[in-house]
Amino acid sequence: NAGVMQNPRHLVRRRGQEARLRCSPMKGHSHVYWYRQLPEEGLKFMVYLQKENIIDESGMPKERFSAEFPKEGPSILRIQQVVRGDSAAYFCASSFTQYEQYFGPGTRLTVT
């Protein structure tokens, strides 16, 4: 009974490159959420998706960031033209209902 899977666990990108973060939800979960955690801060909501639909992207920057959750395959968080300020831990969570969310181990993005 695998939990939420995220890969890669660590990702290093140079400024201007693209970062792709993947998340496979727990089996049976159709709700996926992405959060970002900056050093010494709590987790901040970015986007909420169900299969093939973005439900709420109010926490996601308008520029350079996009997310998808296709019918088949993992959810992808994509950051184009990364900048140093994008360096953070990115966590994916999934849930069966909209309440109890279960988190993956996170992807630590470092932009050099």
Partner 1 sequence: DQQVKQNSPSLSVQEGRISILNCDYTNSMFDYFLWYKKYPAEGPTFLISISSIKDKNEDGRFTVFLNKSAKHLSLHIVPSQPGDSAVYFCAATGANNLFFGTGTRLTVIP
| Distance in angstroms (rounded) separating the CA atoms of residues 112 and 13 | 6
Q: What x-and-dash track marks residues 48-77 binding partner 1 by CB under 8 A? A: x------xx--x------------------
Q: Does 96 participate in binding partner 1 (rule CB under 8 A)? A: no
Candidates 22, 29, 105, 110; binder of partner 1 (CB under 8 A) is 105
What's the CA gap between 112 and 105, in Å, rounded? 22
Q: Tell me: cis bond preceding 8? Omega within 30 of 0 counts.
A: yes
Is residue 42 part of the contact set for partner 1 (CB under 8 A)?
yes
By the rule CB under 8 A, 41 interacts with partner 1: yes
